[in-house]
Chains A and B, each alone.
Chain A
Amino acid sequence: MSKLGLIIKREYLAKVRNKSFVIMTFLSPILMVGMVVLIAYLTKINDSETRVVSVLNESNYFSTDFGSTESTSYVVFKDLNLEEAKDSTLALNFYGLLYIPEGKTVEDVAKRAYFFTKEAPNSSVIDKLDAVFQERLRQEKLVDLGVSAQEFEAIESGFQLQTETFEGIQNLKGINEIKAIIGGGFGYLIMMFIIIYGGFVMRSVIEEKTSRIIEVIISSVKPFQLMMGKIIGTSLAGLTQFAIWIFSASLLLFVVMSFLGLDTSGLQNAAVLPGASVNSMPAMPSELNEMQMYANELMQIPWAMLIFFFMIYFILGYLIYSSIYAAIGAAVDNETDTQQFIFPIILPLMLAIYVGFFSVFGNPHGPIAVGFSLFPLTSPIVMLMRLPGGIGDGGVPIWQLILSIAMLVGTFIGIVWLAAKIYRVGILMYGKKPSYKELFKWLKY
């Protein structure tokens, strides 16, 4: 076996056999599911508490029916003055008291209405009450303007602008966002992988330095071989972890589906022939139509192309960042010294994600999206957010894709070269934390 092969094998086994790796691999999906269940459960508990609000209504502009809901119910006080109502509300341990005074006009009444509570009230309760007043005021205004309630009802109608491209393909509202979210998912995956596994590479380098084995090894192999072996071995361990997660997630999905009695083959059919599973998914015909269109649109995302480019951007992006991580690990003696160097690396990653979510989602081919999808340190994430729109007409222009990958490859070569130089010098330096200036000097050794 070649030396590089030996190093990759050792790094891989060292990572995969590590107890924390095994535990994380099998525990984190359970933790994730557990977390979701817990959040759902807690939310339910939080909402299941019913609030009772008492109402003292002295005016005749408002009906006393505020429409009780699951979480809030209303009790109407009669023949009490405000002070007595307050005392009773407190005595009965109600959530609060809504006081609607007498008045000449509805505006006057609304202005002087008060909601009394023991502590600062829950915003959802307030919103509900606000809406009631708002609605009443509007109706009153309309009546003043001579519009009847029936006429008003007639005005209210659902409206949505339909769009279509020049080729006559109907656009769906939000489909760009959905596509970008899919691309964003890929981009996010890359970012997480880089941060987690780049960190592993860095710690592994630091471990070799602190255990003082590094000089023994590099008297046998070239530092560059060791660095690349480490990066590749660690990433293979990461891919193994992902493979296990994807496999167990699909298995879990399958088990849950069959447990709930859902026909999984029907699900597959639904993907191929939208509408085949009408029975299991009762929906209004028009909604179904729209669902179908969304499904069609999603099916039309060039998945093979997307996954192909995901692999390219993933590999290049990961190699660039993890060699920087390796250089950082080589430059320092322990993990606490890494902070000042790590921040500048994470910055472009965070920037890519934020720019992606705020700018690329809305306008996937605008100048900012184009710029960031060409810049090598952000392109692996941002370009993947643009790609679900396709390549060529209406999608990412081919020249941008080629330029972006070419710049990424160029950066990759440059960064790996620089990182290898810092690595080569750094692994033999012990004692003090180097400054950026010193790192720069190392490049010339």
Chain B
Amino acid sequence: MNSILIAEQITKQFGSHFALKNVSLEIPTNSIYGLLGPNGAGKTTLLRIINQITYPDSGHVLFNGEPLKAEHISLIGYLPEERGLYKSMKVGEQVMYLAQLRGLSKAEAKKRLLYWFERLEIGDWWNKKIQELSKGMAQKIQFIVTVLHEPKLLIFDEPFSGFDPINANIIKEEILHLKERGTSIIFSTHRMESVEEICEYIALLHNAEKILDGKLSDIKKQYKNNIFNVGMAIQEGETFINELAQKFQITSSAYDKAQAELQFQIQLPSEDTRHLLNHLSSRGTVHNFVETIPSANDIFIKTVQSKSVHE
């Protein structure tokens, strides 16, 4: 598997405070990678190192197999968490300026800008000043600035904060579209549920250290606890649940006598559900039988807890 970016043993210290401690990451080419962790975990520092804004005290970063160097800036697009635009500059001039700083020629920048302005239906903003635009409008401009030079790697730090749902959706669609065209994408956020559905890979950072990383589906498999939500129609549900509780661990249950409807959550000793399902089917009609998959947030909390137990 190809990796667009490999970070090896990155350590960064501010005074006596560690921002990153021996963090290693591998970001597969053309994937969507979630960099997750609470505020202050070191996500932004790591992104700044990848963008060559700051430099690690030790460790190194490989981009496409080569050590990270200044020329790679034009291959990376970065939407920082703290983002803004010159308030009194006109939209068109401003975007042209930022695009040229990223290494595009004037003509090329103009051509691509016109494409994007049309695509996001903001063509008539060219001569407006940023201070005349709403926050959501400005965010669209920032998105264009980030992707305009067609980078191989796109990095979004808290991308959806400040977006209204409609704009957030437009941007999400655009990002997925870019991914289809071969771009690799890093999402960094502390709101894990917001990116869970689109990330294929994740890494969890906590207190400057990486505590978990890998393919999201693998992690979920690893962290699943064989808990199932069951709904079934059965007479005398109370007796049945008591019977079950002697053999299995029932975490919660509710019985609606009038409807003869039993709902419960059950934990199995293994992945094997055949025995239980047979048993259930022999006593009533099963409506639903759903495995509860832990969310990234659950996994995070669990990992942090087990970490602190170990220490």
Residues of A within 8 A of B (CB): 1, 3, 6-7, 10, 14, 18, 207-208, 211-221, 428, 430, 441, 444-445
Interchain CB contact under 8 A, B84 and A211: yes
Q: A-facing mask of B30-46, CB < 8 A → 1, else 0?
A: 00000000000000000
Question: Whose C-beta in chain A lies nearest to the C-beta of B149?
Answer: A220
The 8 A CB mask of B181-192 against A (1 = contact, 0 = none) is 000000000000
Contact A445 B14 (CB under 8 A): yes
- With a cutoff of 8 Å between Cβ atoms, the chain B residues found around residue A214 in the complex are 82
Cβ of A10 and Cβ of B97 under 8 Å apart? yes
Would you give the shortest CB distance from B140 to chain A, in whole angstroms? 14
**A219-B86 CB under 8 A given contacts A6-B101, A441-B15:** no
In contact, A213 and B53 (Cβ under 8 angstroms):
no
- Cβ distance B205 to chain A, nearest Cβ, rounded Å: 18
Cβ contact within 8 Å between A219 and B82:
no
Indicate whether A219 sits within 8 Å of B84 (C-beta atoms), given known contacts A1-B100, A428-B48, A441-B15: no
Taken together as a complex, chains A and B put the C-alpha atoms of A10 and B88 apart, in Å, by 12
Q: Is the CB of B100 within 8 A of A6?
A: yes
Partner among B14, B73, B80, B88 whose Cβ is within 8 Å of the Cβ of A216:
B80
B53 touches A216 (CB 8 A): no
Known: A212-B82, A216-B80, A219-B51. 5 other contacts (CB 8 A): A6-B100, A207-B86, A211-B86, A430-B82, A444-B15
Q: How far is the CB of A15 from chain B (nearest CB, A)?
A: 11
Q: Are B97 and A6 within 8 A (Cβ)?
A: yes
Complex Cα spacing A428 to B48, Å: 10
**Majority SS at the chain B contact face:** loop
Please state if B83 and A219 are interface contacts (CB–CB under 8 Å). Answer: no
- Do B85 and A219 have beta carbons less than 8 Å apart? no
Cβ of B210 within 8 Å of any chain A Cβ, yes or no, is: no
**B102 and chain A: residue at smallest CB distance:** A220
Q: Which residues of B contact A14 (CB under 8 A)?
A: 86, 88-89
Contact A216 B86 (CB under 8 A): no
Closest partner residue, chain A, to B70 (CB atom) = A222
CB-based contact B84/A212 at 8 Å = yes
| Chain A residues, Cβ within 8 Å of B52 | 219
Contact status A216-B15, CB under 8 Å: no
Q: For the complex, give the distance between the alpha carbons of A217 and B232 in Å.
A: 59
Residues of A within 8 A of B286 (CB): none
Which A residues are in CB contact (< 8 Å) with B101?
3, 6-7, 217, 220-221
In the complex, whether B7 has a CB less than 8 A from a CB of chain A is no
List 18 A-B residue pairs with CB atoms under 8 Å apart, sorted by A's residue number: A6-B101, A14-B89, A208-B86, A211-B87, A212-B83, A213-B85, A213-B86, A215-B80, A216-B85, A216-B98, A216-B142, A217-B98, A219-B76, A220-B73, A220-B102, A444-B15, A445-B14, A445-B15
The answer to whether B48 touches A216 (Cβ under 8 A) is no
Are A428 and B86 in contact, with the CB atoms below 8 A? no
Bound-complex Cα distance A218 to B145 (A): 14
A-B CB proximity, top 8 nearest: A212-B84, A215-B80, A220-B101, A211-B84, A219-B51, A219-B78, A213-B84, A212-B82
Could you tell me the distance between the alpha carbons of A430 and B102 in the complex, rounded to whole angstroms?
25
Q: Which residue of B lies closest to A217 (CB)?
A: B101
User: Please, which residues of chain B bring their CB within 8 A of the CB of A441?
Assistant: 15
B13 to chain A, nearest CB (A): 9
Most buried by B among A3, A211, A441: A211
The residues of B that contact A211 with a CB separation of less than 8 Å are: 84-87
A224→B51 CA distance, assembly (Å): 16
Least Cβ–Cβ distance between A247 and chain B, in angstroms: 28
Does the CB pair A220–B98 fall under 8 Å?
yes
Q: Which residues of B contact A218 (CB under 8 A)?
A: 53
Interface 0/1 of B62-87, CB less than 8 Å to A: 00000000000100101010111111
Which A residues lie within 8 Å of B102 (CB)?
220
Chain B residues 139-164 with CB under 8 Å of chain A are 142, 145
Q: Which chain B residues border A10 with CB–CB below 8 Å? A: 97
B98: A residues at CB distance < 8 A = 216-217, 220
User: Closest approach, in angstroms, between the C-beta of A332 and any C-beta of chain B?
Assistant: 16
Interface centre among A207, A208, A219 (most CB of B within 10 A): A219
Q: How far is the CA of A3 from the CA of B74 in the complex (A)?
A: 13
Question: Which residue of chain B has its CB nearest to the CB of A424?
Answer: B54
Bound state CA distance, A1 and B96, in angstroms? 13
How far is B83's CA from A208's CA once the two chains are assembled, in angstroms?
Answer: 10
**Nearest neighbor of B48 in chain A, beta-carbon distance:** A428
Q: Please tell me which one of the listed residues A1, A7, A213 contacts residue B83 in the complex, with CB atoms under 8 A apart.
A: A213
**Chain B residues closer than 8 Å to A212, beta-carbon distance:** 82-84
Nearest A residue to B84 via CB reads A212
Q: In whole angstroms, how far apart are the Cα atoms of A221 and B54 in the complex?
A: 12
When chains A and B are docked, how far (Å) is the Cα of A226 from the Cα of B77? 19
Interface residues of B in 87-136 (CB under 8 A from A): 87-89, 97-98, 100-103
Contact partners of A207 in chain B: CB under 8 A: 86-87
Chain B residues with CB under 8 A of A208: 86
Quote the shortest CB–CB distance from B169 to chain A (angstroms): 23
Q: Kindly list chain B residues whose C-beta atoms are within 8 Å of the C-beta of A221.
A: 101
Residues of B close to A1: CB separation below 8 A: 100
Report chain A residues within 8 Å CB of B97: 6, 10
Q: Are B53 and A215 in contact (CB under 8 A)?
A: yes
Closest Cβ–Cβ distance, residue A430 to chain B (whole Å): 7
CA gap between A3 and B100 in the complex, in Å: 8
Smallest distance from the beta carbon of A409 to chain B beta carbons, Å? 28
Q: Known: A428-B53, A445-B14. Contact between A216 and B145, CB under 8 A?
A: yes
A215–B86 CB distance below 8 A:
no
- A-contacting residues, B255-296, CB 8 Å: none
Among A208, A213, A444, residue most surrounded by chain B Cβ atoms (within 10 Å): A213
In the complex, chain A residues whose CB is within 8 Å of the CB of B103 = 220
User: Min CB distance, A146 to chain B, in Å?
Assistant: 85
Give complex CA distance A10, B14 in Å: 33
Cα-based distance from A444 to B13 in the complex (angstroms): 11
